[in-house]
Amino acid sequence: MGLSFQVKTIFITLFLFSTSAFAAGDAHADPVAPVLLALIVILAVAKIGGEIFERLGQPAVLGELLGGVVLGNLILLNPAWNFFEPLRAHVMQENWAVVIDSLARVGVIILLFEVGLESTVQGMMKVGASSLLVALLGIVAPFFLGFGVSWFFIKELPAELAAAVPADFSLNYVHMFVGAVLCATSVGITARVFKDLGQLQKPEAQIILGAAVIDDVLGLIILAVISGIIAAASAGQALEVGALLRLIGTAFLFLAGALGLGVWLVPKLMHQLGKLRTGGVMLISALLLAFALSYLANKVGLAAIIGAFAAGLILEEKHFHHFREKLHLEQWLKPLATFFVPIFFVLMGIQVRLETFANLSVLGVAAGLTIAAIIGKQICGLGVLEKGYDRLTVGVGMIPRGEVGLIFAGIGKSLNVINDAMFSAIVIMVIVTTLITPPVLKITLARGNQKHSKSKPGQAGTNRLPRG
Amino acid sequence: MGLSFQVKTIFITLFLFSTSAFAAGDAHADPVAPVLLALIVILAVAKIGGEIFERLGQPAVLGELLGGVVLGNLILLNPAWNFFEPLRAHVMQENWAVVIDSLARVGVIILLFEVGLESTVQGMMKVGASSLLVALLGIVAPFFLGFGVSWFFIKELPAELAAAVPADFSLNYVHMFVGAVLCATSVGITARVFKDLGQLQKPEAQIILGAAVIDDVLGLIILAVISGIIAAASAGQALEVGALLRLIGTAFLFLAGALGLGVWLVPKLMHQLGKLRTGGVMLISALLLAFALSYLANKVGLAAIIGAFAAGLILEEKHFHHFREKLHLEQWLKPLATFFVPIFFVLMGIQVRLETFANLSVLGVAAGLTIAAIIGKQICGLGVLEKGYDRLTVGVGMIPRGEVGLIFAGIGKSLNVINDAMFSAIVIMVIVTTLITPPVLKITLARGNQKHSKSKPGQAGTNRLPRG
């Protein structure tokens, strides 16, 4: 190869870069070019951030989020570094930003679909009394603590919301929304942390995973109900109980209907689709179900991700046993998730405005929320009915809020219930709850394992393997 | 399960659909909803079309294309069925159309990246004299035949082009572009057809695949040169040879530089990236290289897909041997291609305006182009230097124009060199050349195998397995 070849290559490389100003007119000015550039930066930052945080023993998602925070806030270092401002608009204006925003939204749909795939409808039904009780305690306690923190710090409506709603719009709706944000448990992060620690088969892990799934569904319903209440109140129909009941009914009926479809129609449909000869039928069938339920959920007034999650619950690996393809659905989905999901987390980071952190009261709210989020989930431990299990580990394992908290906060932002300052406080809460979980969990697990090995040697839980 | 459960499920399903009008305000009106709906329709039509045409023994890509033609032209049946009109605009206006258009463009980048991955730089260098000669004949003959057909049928500049260029703009540029469109050989379709027929290991298949790869590169350079000439002429600098040479130089230097990077830098880079711990590094590294070279190609005035193809040529499976992931890069890319690539072909179909077919002269041009396309590639057979191989099979195997012809036509449309009528004629040519290849190839292969089994039994070619 030799030096002269290397010198030649460097020369050619430099020449190529120097000719980038040349460009033969706008003949080939492909509208996808700025999208590609944004994807290159976002995906590279996601991987660099993920790598750094994995090496620090933290979940990769945290690195993606913080990488996004750095990208979005470069403008604070130099006003000319405003490349990502189009991605921070309330409604995207530039075409490439519209595309990236949509890719991020498809990303979170694919993520919730994957999370849903971890469980089955039957598995949900069989979930132990402990999981249910842990989930309920893990929703009730953080909701009221979050409400209390919001009541303590927020004394007036966010400006944009106040301009849009009737004068009698109650501040309690804002407190309820903040409470709802604290209810979320991130099953993705929880499972990922347990997997990273090699502790997925512990009974405590199984209880947490079951509870996290129930939490997800209940949390999404709470979100739908509260969003519906706020939307109704904004339109000046605040206390119309009929609309509220219809909304709750719609949420339950959508899930019940989707799950009913799952038990009855999907196996038949998949049996027919399995006869197709063309390639990639398994992936496209699964995506079409996820997209269709996401679209339908959105149409009935729920968040699109509820539909994606329901689609994941419905679909089971056994529906695909007779398909010609040898790969499992999980293996088909993983590359799509690897591409799409980090776009969502980096974009969430980009949309964090660090200048709001300069406000001391934001840090106060963030501290209050974080304490409420942690204490609220510690009460979960009381829901463990079996003896000999480590209640502290269950409480700690329920702490991470992750993507679900961010999604709730994002919806709150789009409803104007959450202003920039509260959004920043919630992001700090998400970052802190996600950051403290792995080290604390290591400690409680080590402690619990010592106790465990004395009392119940060889106990190993089930073989269900959640997504990594 | 019983009848009552089924009745209940139907009731719930109907209720869910009936409540879609309810939707709690615009609280959750997610901007991704129309994108999801478009994706559902496009992916479903792609799979239905692909399935029908595979069952007819035709390549799936043809079904995707024709499925798109049906979707886009529903408006001819009922003016109210205009859902897809936003996707037929010259420049996309609606946000969901912008997103679908970008997904299609990412799709064709992923496709050309995959095609490039089929070969290596070393493999390109070692490609036999036959492949090179077949490729050259397969470019020169169709170019002049295509030029001739265009010269015979086209007597004036397309209206939109005439309005934009100086009065002395030569009609010959249009003829050259049509000639360039006919040069393309679709390596994807060719390999796919041979694979479907189980004949990938025949020496004729190897010659065709090698020639198709060379054709791709030369065709893309020809496209770049002609596009550059037209762009220069449009700006009134028609015969500036310096700019032309710079353009050719840029095209060659970009490829030489990219390939130089490939031999020198990429193995070192991949060696470093292989040490990373975070998930999906292999896929994201490959995509970043593909996106970066696509972006760079676009920046130096070439089509983005040239960069994607070069990235595919550079990357080799052996660069990833030390990565932690067990799956091959091909297996990582396949799900992404399964999702993205059909969007491109369906969109190309949607953009075909059937009303232009009502023009008898379009059908005349289409017939002329199709004959030129078929005869032009039959001359390829003369390039086979070895004795005993079936020259007719080589000629027939080179016929399909597929995605590359469509891409060329699409660029011609964006340059206004190709008007709607010529675009429709080219699409007919692509459809016909793609459609006739499998049945004719079956016949010539059966005939060739009989001759072959008499003269050279057991000859089995190499073990290189092109993409399916």
Side-chain half-sphere CA neighbours of A50 within 13 A: 22
CB within 8 Å: B13 and A257: yes
Q: Looking at the complex, does the CB of residue B43 fall below 8 Å from at least one CB of chain A?
A: yes
Instruction: Look up the ipTM and state it.
Output: 0.76
User: What is the phi/psi pair of residue B127, to 5°?
Assistant: -55, 135
Chain B partners of A102 at a C-beta cutoff of 8 Å?
A: 31-32, 35, 95-96, 99
- The pair of three-digit structure tokens given for residue A442, joined into one six-digit string: 């290591």
CB within 8 Å: B106 and A35: yes
B63, closest residue in chain A (CA to CA) = A278
Q: What local confidence, expressed as pLDDT, does residue B89 receive?
A: 81
Q: What is the pLDDT of residues B137-193, one digit of tens each?
A: 999 999 999 999 999 988 888 877 777 777 777 888 889 889 989 987 776 566 666
**Average model confidence (pLDDT) across chain B:** 77
B143 vs B7 pLDDT, higher one: B143
Q: What local confidence, expressed as pLDDT, does residue B97 receive?
A: 95
Chain B partners of A28 at a C-beta cutoff of 8 Å?
A: 227, 298, 301-304, 411
CB within 8 Å: B264 and A304: no
Hey, which of A32-36, A428-432, B218-222, B356-360 has the most confident mean pLDDT? Answer: A32-36
Quickly state the pLDDT bin for B70 (edges 50, 70, 90). very high
Chain A partners of B8 at a C-beta cutoff of 8 Å?
A: 260
> Percent of chain B scored above 70 by pLDDT?
78
Q: What local confidence, expressed as pLDDT, does residue B150 receive?
A: 92
Q: What local confidence, expressed as pLDDT, does residue B336 receive?
A: 95
Instruction: Judge residue B170's burial from the number of C-beta atoms within 10 Å of its C-beta, 0-12 exposed, 13-18 middle, 19 or more buried.
Output: middle
Provide the shortest C-alpha distance from residue A387 to chain B (in Å): 37
Report whether pLDDT(B11) > 50: no
Q: Give pairs for A53-58: CB < 8 Å, separation 24+.
A: A54/B277, A54/B278, A55/B277, A57/A196, A57/A438, A57/A439, A58/A434, A58/A435, A58/A438
- Chain A interface, best mutation among B5, B13, B30, by max A CB count within 10 A: B30
Provide the shortest C-alpha distance from residue A334 to chain B (in Å): 8
Rg (C-alpha) for chain A, rounded Å, is 24
Picking from B54, B98, B230, the nearest residue to A95 by CB comes out as B98
DSSP, res A202:
S
- The pair of three-digit structure tokens given for residue A189, joined into one six-digit string: 């992060």
pLDDT, average across residues B70-90: 89
CB within 8 Å: B284 and A47: yes
Report whether pLDDT(B288) > 90: yes
CB count in 10 Å sphere of residue A440: 17
> Tokens 């016929």 belong to which residue?
B399
Q: What local confidence, expressed as pLDDT, does residue A95 receive?
A: 93
Asked which of A2-6, B38-42, B367-371 is least confident by mean pLDDT, the reply is A2-6
Asked which of A397-406, B199-208, B409-418 is least confident by mean pLDDT, the reply is B199-208
- Chain A interface, best mutation among B1, B3, B12, B28, by max A CB count within 10 A: B28
Class of domain B58-454: mainly alpha
Report whether pLDDT(B459) > 70: no
CB within 8 Å: A280 and B109: no
Q: How far apart are CA A35 and CA B109, in angstroms?
A: 12
Question: Residues near B2 by Cβ (< 8 Å), separated by ≥ 6?
Answer: none
CB within 8 Å: A15 and B257: yes
Contact residues, B window 151-190, toward A, CB-based 8 Å cutoff: none
Count interface pairs A-B at CB distance under 8 A.
299
Q: What local confidence, expressed as pLDDT, does residue A103 receive?
A: 96
CB within 8 Å: B287 and A47: no
Helices (H), A19-94: 32-55, 60-72
Q: What local confidence, expressed as pLDDT, does residue A408 receive?
A: 81
Mean pLDDT for each consecutive 10-residue tract of chain A (468 residues)?
38 35 44 94 94 82 87 90 87 91 92 77 64 89 93 85 76 89 75 63 73 72 74 64 69 78 82 80 92 88 77 80 75 92 88 77 90 91 80 87 76 82 86 78 74 48 36
Chain A partners of B30 at a C-beta cutoff of 8 Å?
A: 105, 298, 303-304
Quickly state the pLDDT bin for B220 (edges 50, 70, 90). low
- Chain A interface, best mutation among B6, B15, B16, by max A CB count within 10 A: B16
Q: What local confidence, expressed as pLDDT, does residue B26 receive?
A: 39
Chain A partners of B247 at a C-beta cutoff of 8 Å?
A: 24
Q: Enumerate the domain spans of chain A.
A: 106-455
Q: What local confidence, expressed as pLDDT, does residue B12 receive?
A: 37
Q: What local confidence, expressed as pLDDT, does residue A247 receive?
A: 66
Q: What local confidence, expressed as pLDDT, does residue A20 receive?
A: 33
CA dist list (Å): B3 to A269, A270, A419, B6: 18, 21, 51, 5
Provide the shortest C-alpha distance from residue A99 to chain B (in Å): 5
Say what the pTM is: 0.77
Q: Looking at the complex, does the CB of residue B3 fall below 8 Å from at least one CB of chain A?
A: no
Q: How far apart are CA A36 and CA A25, in angstroms?
A: 20
Q: What local confidence, expressed as pLDDT, does residue A148 receive?
A: 94
A106-455 maps to which CATH number?
A: 1.20.1530.20
Provide the shortest C-alpha distance from residue B25 to chain A (in Å): 6
Q: What local confidence, expressed as pLDDT, does residue B6 receive?
A: 39
CA dist list (Å): A27 to B183, B227, B422: 20, 7, 19
Chain A partners of B44 at a C-beta cutoff of 8 Å?
A: 288
Q: What is the pLDDT of residues B274-285, one digit of tens each?
A: 888 777 888 999
Q: What local confidence, expressed as pLDDT, does residue A195 receive?
A: 60
